[in-house]
Amino acid sequence: MTTSSIDAVAGIHVPDTALAREATEFIRDTEDELLFNHSRRVFFFGALQGVRRGLKPDVELLYVGAMFHDLGLTERYRGSAVRFEVDGADAARDFLTSHGVDEADAAKVWLGIALHTTPGVPEFMAPEVALLQAGVEVDVVGVGREQLAPEALAAVTAAHPRPQFKQRILAAFNDGMKHRPRTTDGTMNADVLAHFDPAFKRVDFVDHILNNSWPE
């Protein structure tokens, strides 16, 4: 892929380290333009939310988390039977530990990616976890967008455009999950599969409680 790399946007700098550069190149070569640009925006938006909230993440870890967070949606995971978030989290942890990052720091990135579609939890965790989800929320569903300066939003989207992003990201979610539909049970991801497949059957939590094998 030929997507360009812009390393400073809206006052936020991509870490100038070998680890960050290798993460960029790996994701550039693995993801398409849609997911690459989305991942970069997630980093910038997450970092901007960190400034606003007064959080001080390890920016290198936040960057790797942002770049890897949707890796599980790519073609290489079409045979996976686990949640796409876990695929990306595992890949990021392996990447980090293979580059000498300690297990505790790699675990922060793993959690951030694994929980990035789970609302109501990451904001109470380490900054690297909280801000990854914050960046995803701004870019995908617009949560927190109004908290960021219009000039910052414009700078990020100029550097990493989002043409027809809403429809294209929904299609990417569907493509990455439709072969493993039961991994979406109890998550917002089930909404995506239901949108694309009228025959998709949601699992009902209440039904599971009322009709499980325990005698009443």
Asked if residue 210 is part of any domain, the answer here is: no
pTM surpassing 0.75?
yes
Asked if residue 78 is part of any domain, the answer here is: yes
Asked if residue 206 is part of any domain, the answer here is: no
Return the pLDDT at 7: 84
Return the pLDDT at 2: 38
| Residue corresponding to tokens 């695929």 | 87
Asked if residue 144 is part of any domain, the answer here is: yes
| Residue corresponding to tokens 């990447």 | 95
Return the pLDDT at 8: 87
Contact 62, 128 (CB under 8 A): yes
Asked if residue 191 is part of any domain, the answer here is: no
| Residue corresponding to tokens 């949560």 | 143
CATH number at residue 144: 1.10.3210.10
Asked if residue 58 is part of any domain, the answer here is: yes
HEC per residue, the chain: CCCCCCCEECCEECCCCHHHHHHHHHHHHHCCHHHHHHHHHHHHHHHHHHHHHCCCCCHHHHHHHHHHCCHHHCHHHCCCCCCHHHHHHHHHHHHHHHCCCCHHHHHHHHHHHHCCCCCCCHHHCCHHHHHHHHHHHHHHHCCCHHHCCHHHHHHHHHHCCCCCHHHHHHHHHHHHHCCCHHHHCCCCHHHHHHHHCCCCCCCCHHHHHHCCCCCC
Of the chain, the end-to-end C-alpha distance in Å amounts to 58
Q: Which two tokens stand for residue 97?
A: 């530990």
In angstroms, the CA 132 to CA 123 distance is 9
Return the pLDDT at 151: 97
Q: Can you give the residue range of the structural domain that contains 42?
A: 8-163
* Count of structural domains within the chain: 1
Asked if residue 187 is part of any domain, the answer here is: no
List, run by run, the mean pLDDT of 10-residue segments along the chain (216 residues): 63 95 97 98 98 98 99 98 99 99 98 98 98 99 98 97 98 98 97 98 93 93
Asked if residue 195 is part of any domain, the answer here is: no
